[in-house]
Amino acid sequence: MPPAMLTDAVISVVIIHRDRPDAVGRTIEAFRHQSVATSIIVVDNGSAPETEAALPSLVGDAELITTGANLGFGPGGNVGLRRWLQQHDTEWVAIAPHDALPDPDTLEVMLRELEGRDHVGLASADVGDHALPVIDPYLGTIDAPPTVDAGFEYSGYPHGTLMLVRRACAEQVGIFDERYFAYCEESELALRADAAGWRCGLIRGAMVRNPGMSASIERVAYLQLRNTLLMLREHFGRRHALFRIGVALVQLPMGMVHAPARGLHWSPRGRLLAIRDHLRKRYGAPPDDVRL
């Protein structure tokens, strides 16, 4: 017999958390006090015992699922997505990390803009960067100029800071590919959705803030490049992935000299390890030699 379905919410929310009880409390409250009714699932991704013990009081009436290990953002998100598919009857689910802070009307604005757009299977909120997320077949995820000042616009993939997934899209194309662990899992899902006829959009004016990043620069650089190479190889072909490796290698000397100018996620060592593991076809959680 299938599980009983929850029917009182307009939209479900999956929050992926790890060892940030201060942040997740604020995020839960931000989603609890949206201008539309929400049903919240918090997935704790292997927090320390003292953090895990404090979570029930922070979560309150939200559902708490503990994984017992750091599965990564995508696999942790899948824990919540499976629960949503099995036990909730909402058409849309929102997915966010533990420090995402949406405005009080963000979900309402998103759902209103998605009305009548039945071909849209994925969508994301506005992170305020005035850029449009797209996927280049040789470079991976890049930013393009926006096409609208407000409202809905088509995008290549959804921002992971706050993204929506339509039930019919998830049922057809599946959920996150767990080899990605973290980073690029949203863009890979968007490519599968696009191949099945679903579109992706961004809603300008539906604001969300993401104050910080807890992972190390080396680990982020490693995951971003390794997962980009996997995505390019599988969705566009080996030649595209080899081109991206060439670009990364050409950039290494420039980055070593001008590291601050290369941005927050620049790490030559992380990128070299990413190329190594891509060529070895080693995916999932980062290995121990990638510094935390």
In a domain, 287, yes or no: no
In a domain, 76, yes or no: yes
Domain with 194, as residue range(s), is: 11-209
88 and 174 assigned to the same domain: yes
Residue 265 has what pLDDT? 57
Regions of the chain short of the pLDDT cut 50: 1-2, 257-262
Instruction: Indicate the residue among 157, 182, 209 that finishes a domain.
Output: 209
Please answer whether residues 108 and 94 qualify as being in contact, where contact means their C-beta atoms are separated by less than 8 angstroms: no
What pTM was estimated for this model as a whole? 0.93
226 and 144 assigned to the same domain: no
User: In whole angstroms, how large is the CA radius of gyration of the chain?
Assistant: 19
148 and 224 assigned to the same domain: no
Side chain identity at residue 289, one-letter code = D
In a domain, 292, yes or no: no
Residue 61 has what pLDDT? 92
15 and 158 assigned to the same domain: yes
72 and 131 assigned to the same domain: yes
CATH number, domain of 142, equals 3.90.550.10
* Tokens, residue 9: 């919410």
146 and 275 assigned to the same domain: no
What is the DSSP code (8-state) at residue 157?
S
79 and 101 assigned to the same domain: yes
Residue 252 has what pLDDT? 86
Instruction: Indicate the residue among 155, 182, 209 that finishes a domain.
Output: 209
How far apart (Å, rounded) are the C-alpha atoms in residues 81 and 171?
A: 11
In a domain, 3, yes or no: no
Residue 5 has what pLDDT? 53
In a domain, 158, yes or no: yes
In a domain, 125, yes or no: yes
Q: What is the DSSP string of 23-82?
A: HHHHHHHHHHTSSS-EEEEEEE-S--HHHHHHHHHHHTTSEEEE-SS---HHHHHHHHHH
Residue 210 has what pLDDT? 87
Residue 260 has what pLDDT? 47
3-state secondary structure at position 98: coil
What is the DSSP code (8-state) at residue 6?
B
In a domain, 288, yes or no: no
15 and 146 assigned to the same domain: yes
φ and ψ of 191, to 5 deg: -65, -40
Angle between helix 217-235 and helix 238-257 axes, rounded to 10 deg? 160
Please answer whether residues 97 and 84 qualify as being in contact, where contact means their C-beta atoms are separated by less than 8 angstroms: no
For 66-113, the pLDDT digits (tens) are 999 999 999 999 999 999 999 999 999 999 999 999 999 999 999 999
Q: Which of 13, 64, 4, 17 is nearest to 38 (CA)?
A: 13
276 and 173 assigned to the same domain: no
Q: How many domains does the chain have?
A: 2
Residue 2 has what pLDDT? 45
3-state secondary structure at position 117: coil
How far apart (Å, rounded) are the C-alpha atoms in residues 24 and 76?
A: 15
In a domain, 93, yes or no: yes
155 and 254 assigned to the same domain: no
129 and 36 assigned to the same domain: yes
Q: Which of 207, 150, 216, 148 is nearest to 182 (CA)?
A: 216
Burial 178-210 (b: 16+ CB within 10 A, else e): bbbbbbbbbbbbbbbbbeeebbbbbbbbbbbeb
48 and 117 assigned to the same domain: yes
Residue 7 has what pLDDT? 52
Instruction: State the pairing for strand pair 92-97/11-17.
Output: parallel
Query: 165: which strand partners?
Result: 93, 122
Please answer whether residues 233 and 140 qualify as being in contact, where contact means their C-beta atoms are separated by less than 8 angstroms: no
Instruction: Indicate the residue among 175, 209, 243 that finishes a domain.
Output: 209
Q: Which of 35, 120, 24, 136 is nearest to 76 (CA)?
A: 24
